[in-house]
Amino acid sequence: MMDITEVQAVQARIMQIQHRFGIPGGVPGMDFHQTLQKAIDKQDTAPVHQTDGNSVPLAKQDQKAQATASTQSVSGGNSASAFTADLPPVNATLNELIQSAAQKYHVDPKLVMAVAETESGGNQSAVSPAGAIGVMQLMPGTAAALGVDPYDERQNIEGGAKYLHEMLDTFDGDVRKAVAAYNAGPQAVRNYNGVPPYRETQNYVSKVLDLYR
């Protein structure tokens, strides 16, 4: 037999259920069991949201909406990939390809990495408005002269390292001139006996050398 405390607890629970589902208290002819069953039936028929054939209770929708709002507040409403788009590439495969190409063409891998980061952010899918392709942004004509397929990441990086090696040889190991030539072409560097007075090239050289140091 229940004591007075248990009875009060049951009554309090009934009042909670009535309040939650809009069931008025003291409905004539409705005993405890009827009240509880009506509350259960109402809960079972609560609206659901259809997603790809799966039913998601509204409570779950609220949780999902809160999670989405939290993500959007961090990323400005964009996807996580957009949020990380400007981060430097930290990619084991890319590092391996750069190390291999640098060793093959006797160029400091840190310099190859700095050029790759400045050119494309290490992104093989990057294509410039001028048509430069891939990680180290090889123009189709340059790639053909170097004997590489610019759409193949390994060949693209090897082509870039080879060209960088050629520029270092052309300018007697002067890294600043070699980097400027990678961007503006060797003739422009010869014409000005150094970094050409092009804003793009000057910014490019500064960024590469800052990363290289």
| Closest CA relative to residue 183, chosen from 199, 162, 165, 205 | 205
Q: Which residues are catalytic?
A: 119
Residue 20 neighbours by CB under 8 Å, 6+ apart:
39
For residues 57 and 45, what is the distance between their CA atoms, to the nearest angstrom? 10
Amino acid making up residue 68? T
DSSP assignment letter at 89: P
Residue 86: alpha-carbon gap to chain centroid: 8
**Residues linked to residue 50 through DSSP beta bridges, in sequence order:** 55
Q: What does the radius of gyration of the chain's CA atoms come to, in whole angstroms? A: 33
CB 193 within 8 A of CB 200: no
CB 110 within 8 A of CB 212: yes
| Closest CA relative to residue 132, chosen from 194, 207, 204 | 204
Amino acid making up residue 13? R
